[in-house]
A and B are shown apart, each in its own frame.
Chain A
Amino acid sequence: MSADTTHILAPQGPYPPGPEMLNAPVDPQWSRESGARLRAVWAQPRGLRYWSAVNNSEVGQWYAMLCFGFMLAAGVLALLMRVQLAVPGNDFLSADRFNQFFTMHGSAMMFLFAVPMFEAIAILLLPAFLGARDMPFPRLSAYGFWCFAIGGTFVFGSVFFGAAPDSGWFMYPPLATQSEGIGADIWLLGLSFIEVSSIAAAVELIVGVLKCRPPGMRINLMPLYAWYVLVVGAMILFAFPPLIAGDFLFELERSFDWPFFDPERGGDPMLWQHLFWIFGHPEVYIIFLPSIAIAAMIVPTAAGRPIVGYSWIVLSAVAVGFLSFGLWVHHMFTTGLPAISLGFFSAASEAVVIPTGVQLFAFLATLMAGRVRMSVPMLYIAGALAIFTCGGLTGIMVALVPFDRQVHDTYFIVAHLHYTLFGGMVFPVMAGVIYFYPFIRKKMMSPRLGKWAFWLVFTGFNLCFLPMHLTGLQGMPRRVYTYPDLDALNWGWLNMLSTAGAFVMAAGFAVFLWDVIRPKGRDAAAPRNPWGGGTLEWTHDVPEDPGWGVRSIPYITSRYPLWQQEGLLERMDAGGCYLGDAPEGLRETLITTVLDARPILVQRVTGPTWITLAAAGFTGGLFILPVFKLYWPALACGAGAMAAILWWLWRDTARPPEAARKPVGLGLSLPLYATGPASVGWWGMFITMLGDMTAFASLVFGFFFYWTAGDDFPLPGAGHGQPVLCGLAAACYGGGWAAMRLARGWNRGGRVGRARLARAAAPVLALAGALAMAGAVWLPGLDPASHVYPAMLWAFAVWTVVHSVPGLVMPLYCLAGSLRGKLTPAHDADLWNCTLYWHFLLITALVSAAVLGPIPRLM
């Protein structure tokens, strides 16, 4: 993590800057000229080319608006369902349509609103909190956004054709594996595609928090929002991949009849439930934490003082991040698992209350120690607290196994989850929209409309969901499209109340939406820091800001720089801090060290381009076409996506700079090139591959799950992977890895020819390894459709072979770079990143070879 000489040149010049440097006047003429140069560099493209922008402020806004749109659409589905349920025996919606609607309502709210909304807000705000100019990989954000836009439209659009998934957002097999039509495929492939953008965002955000902070912003001074983003990014890396692994198995079953979840052929529907909820429960906290993070920015502003219990909040964020992975079976308390196992999850589900409580009490403590000014955002925070504590308290109830066995899958749970999500996500996000609106638009939202919207949503929400607790206790199950008119049930009046409440709530959202989009041309411009906040986002000066974020990147010495660092704003605006100029005409941001944020590098970030849109389009084809069984065109799209990404990397990343160092202001000169762990690209690769490893680990978990749960795994008498070929595959991948590793050393040592040879050998070995791996399951005639055991072996082989494709392309990319002068002994970032990939490929290949060959023979 530190700047070491093998990966990066040392900075030159004084750091930290002394007070005399920070107080030295800035030449006004230079300030004007450099400002103009910087503005030209960061100018957004205009006209149609606007959509080729990659800057975080643009991408973040598109992202957020699209999520908001999906939320409204999914909310309309909810209203239609409430109409259907208003009276017993209603026939407003057919059973089929109702099932599609509730499936899409849940899926869209989770995958198209709650999680991406976090990503959108974080992309929009994080660089501002950190005084950074942009995210470290702007094009990755844009790519993620376009993937989301294409995938989300595809998934949600299916509702209009009556072809939407209808097995519930949890897609339990065998119902979902055996469901007819393309609904289930749309869900699996469409949402897997969107998960790609979530993981892209996670990579981006983690690297952003760790490496893109302003100089001086040590880890103990970081805004709490950044802590939450760090934790949530890490959670995404460990929570989403199990679902991707599950989707992989699920789609193999649907497309090729490999019986992973079919009990008649040794499969087990419980594996899906495990994989789904290992994702599904952390996901709830992935939604909750970033929203509470918004509250953590609003509360100190309202209290007019720094947060009380900074360390406590960090503790609670990290602890929730961990504990949330030990809760998943509380969605499975009624599946007949061993009693002690249920006990573990009940205990962990209660334990997570402690850090969550700490979080809330830290806010109360801050309000207690401050002089509180109520504002409209604080009104929403109050509503959030009222609703969330209610949801949390019913959460304590449902974490108790005997109680859950009664209310599980009833309207009590519907009430509970909406209380947690509205209190934990919707209200804080609405507070955030009002609070940060002037940051984005330079206008205030109307306090009057804000209060109207609040009281309508708050009243409507409670009218809708409070009665549902009772509806559930009186025995009404979830996901029923109708219910009988029986005195014995008496659910009618409760449902009528809920429906009325839903419409009141909808009216509130309509007011809120109007307030967001209404033309505000006549409204007075908002002041620069309208709420009197203390953190760096309020240094943005919107009309002046073409997208650069800050005029110059400040030196930070406190948690609330605008409250505690006098004169900071003036100096930043004059361009007198870091990177106040762009003489080379390139977009740049600062890279600093992880703990103490010492500046170590000037990172050139990429600018507007269409290539991300093209890459996303091709990636969309790769995921969407298989829904219609168009496998060859899908593969062609996959090749297209890879070509687009290679083109984008080749043209604009890791190019040897024109000079070794450049002056960045305040006397400091920083290097322009870094390699290995000193570069952000390496961290991006490392973090991506951690996620990939988690998905692979989920497959391994599946293998052992079948062994534990069933008597016929490995299938007695069945063949195993061909042992010689397993060994050969392991040897080939080992050789490929060694070639890459040697190439790195040789290249660095100046033996360029030898390094090129090694790089040429690696793809050959990857190909040979992949062939051997495929042969190991092919030659013994293992039929994957016959039983889950051979299917599982095939799944490992397929996984490894697919991962060999980048392993094959990457050395060639490096070879081409070496031949064209992009990769030199001193500029070898690509080589480091590709070697890093090969480390993980080697682990995947060795474990797969072991699972195919020796391990089942030992079982």
Chain B
Amino acid sequence: MRRAAGVLWAMLLSGPAAAARQSVIHPAGEDAALVAGLFWWLLGGAVLLWLLMNGLFLYLTRLNPVPLSRRLAEMLIIGGGVLLPTVVLAVLLGVTLQKIPMHMRPGDGLRVHVTGEEWWWRVEYWPEGADAPIVSANEIRLPAGQRTDVTLGSARVIHSFWIPALGGKLDMFPGRETRMSLLPQIPGTYRGQCAEFCGLSHALMAFEAVVMEPADFQAWLTAQAAPALPPADARAARGRAVFFAEGCGGCHAIRGTAATAGAGPDLTHLGSRTTLASATLPMTEAALAEWIADPESAKPGALMPGYGHLSGAELGDLAHYLKGLR
């Protein structure tokens, strides 16, 4: 019976817990774990106080609506209105005020700089001592067990960077850098999302946050630093030709090719990412073709123009090429 209740409770809270990848109460990092732990205490206390207050009201109005002593009533004001909250709140402040700077602790070396764009994420990895960043987009990978510095900026409007499973959010401003750090603990794939309303497609500005074992992370980062792979087959080569013929390099960079522009997301290792269009579409060739043909329908207001004039074959080739950029 108790067990069944426990399962029901867990269901209510999250659905299958293993699947909750954007949840404050399923923490996978130090900062998030602290808040989740705090929350259960807060919830317990709140439920207790709520029952007390409303139980008293019910008692006074329904169960026993006869006058009680005025003196008792006045004691209630002093006790319930002043003494109790003063003590409870002082304790809460005592516990949490110390924790305010928690997310500002310095990291262990790696810095990730994220810039909010409309509506995608420009991501730069700055390993300790690096002179130039390793550029990526729309996906964040972090090593487990290490505290990583996260610096934030924005191109035009305010966004907010948030990976609930790892820690609290921080706003991203144009013209100003904000910083925090994150200490992920459990490897896995989590989800982050922009939390500050930023215009038409605010709802579609998400990303996957992949926490990896440090060694795996190192290997991945080394691979990301490398230039793009050449086309693996004839179809990819045709796709690459379409890429340049259509002027895609006017906005996007594919390192190791003539495409070096920075207006749109860096595509050097696009195929290695888990999602497309800031976690709006799956990373499949079909989705890529669909996106290129008509970005507007997947993401209203997207700055990328549609390439619906391309033939199905051209779109397919282009998607094949891009998907091959691992």
CB contact under 8 A between A401 and B80, given known A393-B46, A409-B195? no
Residues of A within 8 A of B144 (CB): none
B104 at the interface (CB under 8 A from A): yes
Contact indicator A365/B76 (Cβ below 8 Å): yes
Assembled-state Cα–Cα distance A402/B85 (Å): 20
Given known contacts A385-B54, A400-B92, A347 and B156 CB-to-CB distance under 8 angstroms: no
Bound Cα distance from A500 to B96, whole angstroms: 37
A175 touches B158 (CB 8 A): yes
Say how far B95's CB is from chain A's closest CB, in angstroms.
Answer: 8
A358 touches B82 (CB 8 A): yes
B220 contacts A by Cβ under 8 Å: no
A511 to B100, CA, bound (A): 47
A69: Cβ under 8 A from any B Cβ: no
Nearest B residue to A270 via CB reads B173
Most chain-A Cβ atoms within 10 A of its Cβ — which of B13, B46, B56, B175? B175
Given A178-B156, A346-B93, A369-B68: A312 in contact with B24 (beta carbons within 8 A): no
> 1/0 contact trace for B154-195 toward A, CB 8 Å?
001110101010011111011110110000000000010111
Query: Assuming the A-B contacts A99-B200, A263-B175, are A402 and B102 also in contact, with contact meaning beta carbons closer than 8 angstroms in the complex?
Result: yes
Contacts of A370-390 to chain B: CB distance below 8 A: 370-374, 378, 382, 385-386, 389-390
Q: Contact: B22 with A371, CB < 8 Å?
A: no
Q: Which segment of A483-491, A533-541, A584-592, A639-647 sits at the interface?
A: A483-491
A354, A406, A473, A488: which has the most chain B beta carbons within 10 Å? A406
Give the docked Cα–Cα distance between A370 and B65 (Å).
8
**Contacts A372-B60, A385-B57 hold; do A362 and B65 have CB atoms under 8 A apart?**
no
Residues of B within 8 A of A347 (CB): 93, 97
Contact A474 B76 (CB under 8 A): no
How many Å lie between the Cα of A365 and that of B82 in the bound state? 14
User: Could you mark each residue 27-39 of chain B with 1 if its beta carbon is under 8 Å from any beta carbon of chain A, else 0?
Assistant: 0000110110011
Proximity string of chain B (70-87) to chain A, C-beta cutoff 8 Å, 1 when within and 0 when not: 101110110011101110
Question: Which residues of B lie under 8 Å from residue A335 when comparing CB positions?
Answer: 171, 173, 178
Select which of A96, A350, A470 is within 8 A of B300 by beta carbon: A96
Cβ contact within 8 Å between B76 and A382: no
Contact at A489–B191, with CB atoms within 8 Å?
yes
Chain B residues within 8 Å of A361, by CB: 76-77, 80-81
A396 to B162, CA, bound (A): 22
Contact assessment for A394 and B46 in the assembled complex, using a CB-CB cutoff below 8 Å: yes
Which chain A residues (397-420) contact chain B, with CB distance < 8 Å? 397, 400-410
Does B50 make an interface contact (CB < 8 A)?
yes
* A402 lies within 8 A of B38 (CB): yes
6 pairs of A and B residues whose beta carbons are closest in the complex:
A405-B168, A263-B175, A475-B22, A480-B203, A358-B81, A336-B178
Known: A339-B101, A365-B77, A490-B15. 13 other contacts (CB 8 A): A174-B174, A305-B67, A347-B93, A357-B80, A368-B68, A382-B58, A386-B54, A400-B96, A402-B34, A475-B191, A477-B195, A478-B197, A489-B21
A residues contacting B by CB (< 8 A) are 94-96, 99, 167-168, 172, 174-175, 178-179, 263-264, 268-270, 302, 305, 308-309, 312, 316, 334-336, 339, 342-343, 346-347, 350-351, 353-354, 357-362, 364-374, 378, 382, 385-386, 389-390, 393-394, 396-397, 400-410, 470, 472-484, 486-490, 493
Give B contacts to A, CB under 8 Å: 12-16, 19-25, 31-32, 34-35, 38-39, 42, 46, 49-50, 53-54, 56-58, 60-62, 65-70, 72-74, 76-77, 80-82, 84-86, 89, 92-93, 96-97, 99-104, 156-158, 160, 162, 164, 167-171, 173-176, 178-179, 191, 193-204, 206, 279-280, 300-301
26 sample A-B contacts, Cβ–Cβ < 8 Å, listed by A number: A99-B197, A99-B199, A167-B197, A175-B199, A264-B175, A308-B70, A334-B170, A336-B173, A342-B100, A347-B93, A364-B60, A364-B80, A365-B76, A368-B60, A372-B65, A397-B42, A401-B99, A405-B103, A406-B167, A470-B13, A474-B14, A478-B195, A479-B202, A484-B280, A488-B19, A490-B20
